[in-house]
Every structure is written in C-alpha cells, then in structure tokens.
Amino acid sequence: MDNTSEQKTENQEKKKIVRGPRLNQKLKIMYLMKILLEETDEDHDLTLNEIVEKLKAYNVTAERKSLYSDIENLRTFGLDIIGMQYGKTYHYKVASRQFQLVELKLLVDAVQSSRFITEKKSDELIAKLESYASKYEAKKLARQVNVNGRVKTMNERIYYSVDKIHEALNEESQIKFQYFTWTADKKMELKHGGAYYSVSPWALCWDDEKYYLVGYDNREYKIKHFRVDKMADVSVVYEEREGKEEFSKMQMSEYTNRLFGMFDGNLETVTLLCENHAANVIIDRFGTDIPLMKTDAEHFTVRVRVSVSKLFLSWIMAIPGVKIVAPERTVDMMKSEIKRLQEMYL
C-alpha cells in the first residue's frame, strides 16, 4: 500500500471515530426518552444530574438548559413526564404508559399459561411485553403462573399457519394443508398418506385452550373444524371460498357451544334433570340466557342443543346430580358408555 492510500484509509477511520459521537448527539432526545422509559415509573424518578450521567453512557453530552427543552418536546410528543421538586432539586418520571402494569401482568399470565404457545415463543413474547415497562416493573412481570404439568404445543410453525389462515380470511380465499396426528412412539404422522386438505376457511375459534379453524371442506361438502397446531404446510389458494350458504345459517357462538372439546357428534336437543347446585356449571357452559325450568324444590330441567359425543357424555358423568332424561337414544348412548367403562375395569 502506497503512502497516499495509507493516508486515505487513516482519514476514513478518523471520520468514523468522529461520526459515532456526533450521530449519538443528534439522537439525544431519543436516548433521553429511552432512559426515562426504562429507568423511571410511578415509584422511581431521576434528577437532571442523573439523566446527564446516564446520557454519557451513550456518548451523549447534555446541558441542563437543553434537557428542559427536550423534556418539554417529549411531553408535546405525548410522553407523560411529570416533574416534581424536592427541596431545590427537580425529579422527573414517566407517570403513565401505553399499558398499565396490571394489564401487562394479565397478558404475561395469558401467554405463560397458554398451551397454544410454545415455550420458546412464550419467552420471546414475554420479553417484548417487558419492554413496555420500566426495568423495575419488568422484574414484577418475571413471575411464574401456577401451571403445573401444563403441556405446551410443540409445533413452532403454528404462528405461520395462523398468519396464512388470516390472510385467506381477509382475501376470502381457500387454503390447503396437511394434517397430522401423534403416534405411540411420539412421531408426527401425516393423515391420509400426506394428502392435502382443501378447505374454505370461515373462522378461527378458541376452545379448551386450543385454536381451531372452522371451515367448509371442499371435498366432503360440509362444515368441519381442524386443530391449527396439527396443521402443516398451510398455503393460500387464491380461489373463491365455498360454503357461504352453510355459514350464513349458523352463528359461531352457537356452533362452539354445542361442541364439547370440538368433538363432533349427532346434533340433538337434550333434556337434563339437574339438582339445584348444578345451576352454576350449566350456566357457566351455556350462558345466562338458557331457561332453567323448576321441577320441584330440589331440581330443575334444562334443554340444551349439543353435539352428542363421548366427550359430552363424560362431561355429564363428571357433574354430580345431573341426569340425561331425553331423548331416549341419547339415554341409551349413556347406558352403553357406562357399560363399556364397567367392562374395561372389571
């Protein structure tokens, strides 16, 4: 390398060294906002001298007079900065934020306890939620919800699947995907030999801590639902959705209410004879609009429209003081199920 080239390289390096602090200085107000958001909250504040010292860590110099102006500009921008005088010293803090701490705690709890979200994604989402709090409040978010034995989904692709389903819903288009199940040796096995399902998506719903796609099966010509975490290789097919007439006849809330664990069965109007204490469970499941008809001082009857599956029968078995009394075919199904269970444990 000749002297001219060497001198040119040296000058470029010097420019880089000078440019760093200068660029930081131009970003002074941004670093000031960062410091206030991270270091202050309702219970923690900073003096101007403390702010000056913290800015130095970002290679930013600041005079008290310029900080007054910057703080006022941040207030105009929308940051809720409060200045308080203790003796001769002013203290500054961010008093309110986009999310209250109690709201962040609820969101963290929901993410942490959700089976739908993988462990890895839970950690990522909680870290992002912590960024909406000060460093002191973030410590309060790093807590463990009591979810002993909670099984998290293992399908990391589920977020991309949901994104594709939403895209199809917005575009009113069809989707195709593969569907899998778990084998006894804990391996994923594609159903139907890996053949693709062709479905017109109409809704996403949440039931029993799982995410479901509700759509119209283009081959079987009927409404079906699929576990989103068991869908693979989801893609949008830009063809007009089918099943519009079928979905116009139904309400999604009624559809999910009548299914137990999203298990299909014959749709029936079932009459239940219940002891009064069971009203709480019945109302929790079917809502306050359902009529409870008093039978005597200790009992009431209720008629529910449900898909009669083995899971529904198990749900009835688990509620003390609740008995199916009609229709007769559903009563017979319950008797057969009880007999089957008895034979299993004899």
219-276 confidence digits (pLDDT tens): 888 888 898 888 999 999 999 999 988 888 776 666 666 565 555 667 889 999 999 9
Question: Is the separation of the CB atoms in 232 and 178 below 8 Å?
Answer: yes
Question: Is the separation of the CB atoms in 166 and 211 below 8 Å?
Answer: no
Question: Is the separation of the CB atoms in 302 and 271 below 8 Å?
Answer: yes
Question: Is the separation of the CB atoms in 307 and 265 below 8 Å?
Answer: yes
Q: Considering only the top CATH level, what class is 20-96?
A: mainly alpha
Say which DSSP state 132 is in. T
* pTM (predicted TM-score): 0.60
Report angle CA 56, 59, 62 to the nearest 5 degrees.
55
Distance separating alpha carbons of residues 155 and 295, to the nearest angstrom: 49
What pLDDT, in 10s, does the model give residues 191-226? 999 999 999 999 888 776 678 898 999 888 888 889
SS3 202: strand
Say which DSSP state 193 is in. G
DSSP E strand boundaries for the chain: 46-47, 80-86, 89-96, 173-182, 188-190, 197-207, 210-217, 222-227, 231-240, 266-275, 293-294, 299-308, 322-326
Confidence bin at 22 (pLDDT 50/70/90): low
Question: Is the separation of the CB atoms in 61 and 22 below 8 Å?
Answer: no
Is the pLDDT higher at 23 or at 180? Answer: 180
Displacement of CA 129 from its chain's centroid (Å) = 12
Distance separating alpha carbons of residues 54 and 32, to the nearest angstrom: 9
CA distances from 302 to 26, 84, 308, 346 (A): 70, 62, 16, 34
Using only the alpha carbons of the chain, give its radius of gyration: 30
- Fold category of 158-250 in CATH: SH3 type barrels. (2.30.30)
